A = this chain, B = another copy of it.
Amino acid sequence: MTHVLDEATAVEQVSPGLFRAHTHPAYNNMVGPFGGITAATVVAALQHHPDAQGDPLSLTLNYAAPISEGEWDIAITVLRTNRTNQHFTFLISQGEGPVASGTAVFGTRRDTWGDTEITFPTVGAPDEYADQPFPDFIAWARNYETRFVEGSLALEGPQESSQSTVWLRDRPARPLDYPALASITDAFFPRVFLRRGTYLPAGTISLTTYFHASADELAAQGEDYLLGSARGARFGHGHFDQYAQVWGRNGTLLATTHQIVYYKDPKA
């Protein structure tokens, strides 16, 4: 049986460098598809590019307009292939116009000195926290099991901190790969919801994810829970940023991610 993430990220090369994808109703967001599934599909298309070398290292995806239900195209250009990394640009279009664009870098992992400097959050095991789904109208979130340690969407008025800490994984569980990890880096809902204690019109403008995980580290993670930690830095003038880390259960920092988000909240 095909996992819903694989259905949603399926791509077909229709001409050299041009890939066709389709929106999937299971990953709908309030307006258009969940940004994470678009990111995952981009990563899948990059990996399917016949000239791709190495594994995803960096992805930036700018959401210029909502994607409508149906087909969409991603045109990938291999900008430059170096000895240990490869640079891509891509353009996502639908019908007559562009809806998103971005860049990516693939890299070859080498054996070097390494260290994770930031520390794994102090939390209990996943089963110590209830599986606390998002509200029903957020379709995409049904594809994730989310066990919040703090900062869930059970909004109880404005919070002083936008911090969320959450055990999460695909539902049903699925072995982690780069597309699935890309999707999860956008699974931290807009931090402004926590700060304002309510839903507001908000949407990601630009998402950047750095993939720290090697292919072996993804394999070691398997279907196990990931720990996500997300927080905003500054909210103002109709925009805010949020920064998140995605950890493997074994303490490996698999990805760091940041995004700038639009919100609409006229000053009271």
- Quick check: A205 and B102 within 8 Å, CB to CB? no
Chain B, residue nearest A257 (CB):
B258
A164: CB under 8 A from chain B?
Answer: no
Q: Which range contains the number of A residues in contact with the other chain?
A: 35 or more
- Quick check: A105 and B206 within 8 Å, CB to CB? yes
- Quick check: B233 and A263 within 8 Å, CB to CB? no
How many copies of the polypeptide does the oligomer hold? 2
A109: CB under 8 A from chain B?
Answer: yes
Q: For the A-B complex with A117-B232, A117-B235 known, give 12 more contacts whose Cβ atoms are closer than 8 Å.
A: A58-B62, A60-B60, A65-B80, A65-B82, A84-B238, A109-B238, A109-B239, A112-B237, A114-B234, A114-B236, A115-B235, A210-B241
Instruction: Supply 23 A–B pairs (Cβ within 8 Å), ascending by A.
Output: A57-B205, A58-B62, A58-B206, A60-B60, A60-B208, A62-B79, A62-B105, A64-B79, A79-B101, A89-B101, A101-B103, A103-B103, A109-B237, A112-B267, A113-B196, A113-B235, A116-B236, A117-B161, A210-B258, A210-B260, A233-B253, A243-B258, A256-B258
